[in-house]
Chain A
Amino acid sequence: MGTIRISGAEAIIRCLLEEGVDLIYGYPGGAIMPVYDELYKFQDQLHHVLVRHEQGATHAAQGYARATGKVGVAIATSGPGATNLVTGIADAQIDSTPMVCITGQVGRHLLGSDAFQETDIIGISTPVTKWNFQVTEASQIPEIIAKAFYIARSGRPGPVLIDITKNAQFDELDFSYEKCTGIRSYNPVPKLNLDKVAEAAALINSAKKPLIVFGQGIILGQAEAEFKAVLEKSGIPAAWTILGLSALPTDHPLNVGMLGMHGNYAPNLLTNECDVLIAFGMRFDDRVTGKLSTYAKQAKVIHFEIDPAEIDKNVKTEIAVLGDVKESLAALLPLLDAKSHDLWHNEFKELAKVEYESVIKDELNPSTAGLSMGETIEMINKHSKGDAIIVSDVGQHQMFACRYAKFNSTKSNITSGGLGTMGFALPAAIGAKMGKPDREVVAIIGDGGFQMTIQELGTIFQTQVPVKIVILNNEFLGMVRQWQELFFDNRYASTKMINPNFVAIAEGYHIKSKKVTQREDLDAAVAEMLASKDSYFLEVMVEKENNVFPMIPTGACVSEIRLS
């Protein structure tokens, strides 16, 4: 390929186009202005979405990436622009979301001089990026951006930050582009060891009470079909982590529910009864395992995982199968015996009945005057028929959404799992809808989290992106309040929210809005929201002091799961 003589800023845009990027989220500022100037020229090919805060750019890029499986891109200026990206980068890091962030930086001659809007974003972002790099010369741009995309999307995905000094944006280079296909020191996908697969298959075939736990690895590895085939042949009950949700249809008969702190009763309790625990693409997060010293001690653990550092990190494994999960599952399938494990399934069904009677029935059909979060989610299920992408924020409503929302297809549950970032959902929903314009995207947000990135209503208004926003308003920071009730003697320190008129705010941004306070109005309001071709804001006033159950208190064992 020949070269052309262009500026570093133009090179950045051309690199993005070469990587197939057509949409980026960002906010301009002094140190990134040369790039914005070029964006003006390329606006027909590369659409830039002006968010209202750089944190919104990262969450929107995350939502886009999670809904599409592609790399999300966010761009910001130096100093505060760059530091405002950090929360979203940290969120993407812990949830393995592929994202490339580009920040402007002061000129090379000013580096280290405490210049205006200079921060050491490389130093700041190092612990929360998969890789980062400071470009100080225009000629470095093509190679580094190619590396950034390769690293972000390969192996276990993650966020990459490229900091580019202003002189590098202005200076010219002889531009040509070559995609990165490998880095000497980086082995993104460990080679599959077929002997280990055979060992795993033998152990699975010998199991009397096997349990599958699956995480986002299935989705990231695009292994949903292979996973379903393994599941259906082996007949093993399967439980999901919060990020694994939607990798398997909710109503699949072998789906036994959610693991972890607010997960379902049966899979949590029976984790401590299974004889073989088979983990696919999940990392034994502490919210899933509870107290490690009592977690599945009776079980032999098989771990299918792409990241060698996850093996034995939290839970000691009997057999570790490293590699790409799609490939591992395909190799495993022919070695498995076809079974149904009926007696073992009955144990799950019995416990599911107990949970239904003591928790779910009342949550979905409450006898209280106030609306419940669960019934609101169920109403969304009714009208979306399980086809919507649900983007949830962080808190009680998130747990209700993840527990009760129904999904027919993959990449439909977008939430901040590992970092638990309040303020995630509104911008993430914008990104998800822009990535998947043909799908219904419903953001479910608490009154607390909504106010953390409420300014992104402005982005919705400006771009006219038709996201649906449901605020479950209990006038509390509900999850903290629940903990205060249960573990801090009802001392509700700083968790009561005196909220503004949310509907008036949404209407201020010219977004169609409705507030529901009565049960009889909920059905029609949700129907109207989902029928709307435009964005829609629905505020649902819910029971103030409702709790999410079941619950495994922090530090307790999974089988100590409480139903009330």
Chain B
Amino acid sequence: MEDKTFTISVYSENNVGLLNRISGIFLKRHINILSLNVSESEIENVSRFIIVVNTTEKWVQNIVGQIEKQIEVIKAFYHTDEETIYLENALFKIASSLLFDEKQIQNIIKESQSTIVTVSRDFFVISKSGRRSEIEELYEKFKPYGIMQFVRSGRISVSKEKMEISSLLETFK
């Protein structure tokens, strides 16, 4: 079985310490988490973890089984890239002078469909949402001009299939 990128989605109660339990499941198997995002989900008091890993389908099945065993986890799923809509967000901090001195910068911003978040005397900040490859492409374009700071978020994704957590929660009651 070959390694692939999988997005694991975990719906859970919003409790202290659960991240530790979930990350431990990956640690035990020496599987590196490529990206992790935790936030509130569409259901009140239910959190959603989105974890990206590169591994085999057998391992990801096994991991999802172990995650679902955790008391506070409502349900966990895994999907391939083809089965999800996903993106990341990135912020680029760049010296303000470049905006005026380097004409090409404005073209890059326009062509990449990124947005200027703020502009100050010393720097401006650009936000770009998209797939990892699009963000990396933009990074490469800015790089020759100098990037003061760069940060990229974990992947966020929604699945193409239904997850039906609300009805599952009803059955647990």
- Contact call A307/B73, Cβ cutoff below 8 A: no
- Contact call A307/B74, Cβ cutoff below 8 A: no
- Contact call B68/A308, Cβ cutoff below 8 A: yes
Smallest CB gap from B58: residue in A: A312
Bound-state CA distance A130–B21 (Å) is 10
- B8-52, CB < 8 A from A: 12-13, 16-17, 20-21, 24, 28
- Contact call B28/A312, Cβ cutoff below 8 A: no
**Given the known A-B contacts A184-B172, A187-B172, are A126 and B71 also in contact in the complex, defined by CB atoms under 8 Å?**
no
Contact of B13 among A122, A184, A308, A311 (CB under 8 A): A184
Give the size category of B's interface with A. 20 to 34
A185 CB within 8 Å of chain B:
yes
Q: How far is the CB of A320 from chain B (nearest CB, A)?
A: 12
- A170-219, CB < 8 A from B: 182-187
Bound-state CA distance A343–B154 (Å) is 61
CB neighbours of B13 from chain A (8 A): 184-185
CB neighbours of A133 from chain B (8 A): 17
Tell me whether chain B's interface is mostly helix, strand or loop, or mixed.
helix
- Contact call B20/A126, Cβ cutoff below 8 A: yes
Tell me whether chain A's interface is mostly helix, strand or loop, or mixed.
mixed
Q: How far is the CB of B105 from chain A (nearest CB, A)?
A: 45
CB neighbours of B24 from chain A (8 A): 126-127
Q: How far is the CB of B31 from chain A (nearest CB, A)?
A: 15
CB neighbours of A7 from chain B (8 A): none
Give the size category of A's interface with B. 20 to 34
- Contact call A309/B68, Cβ cutoff below 8 A: yes
B153 CB within 8 Å of chain A:
no
**Given the known A-B contacts A182-B172, A184-B74, A187-B172, are A132 and B17 also in contact in the complex, defined by CB atoms under 8 Å?**
yes
CB neighbours of A308 from chain B (8 A): 65, 68-69
CB neighbours of B74 from chain A (8 A): 184-185
A131 CB within 8 Å of chain B:
yes
Smallest CB gap from B74: residue in A: A185
- Contact call B172/A151, Cβ cutoff below 8 A: no
Q: How far is the CB of B21 from chain A (nearest CB, A)?
A: 5
Q: How far is the CB of B39 from chain A (nearest CB, A)?
A: 17
CB neighbours of A122 from chain B (8 A): 17, 20
- A303-327, CB < 8 A from B: 307-313
Bound-state CA distance A123–B173 (Å) is 30
Bound-state CA distance A28–B12 (Å) is 36
CB neighbours of B68 from chain A (8 A): 308-309
Q: How far is the CB of B92 from chain A (nearest CB, A)?
A: 35
Contact of A185 among B12, B62, B65 (CB under 8 A): B12
CB neighbours of A134 from chain B (8 A): 16-17
Contact of B69 among A126, A184, A309, A312 (CB under 8 A): A309
A-B contact pairs, 9 of them (CB 8 A): A123-B20, A182-B172, A184-B13, A184-B172, A185-B12, A185-B71, A185-B72, A307-B69, A311-B65
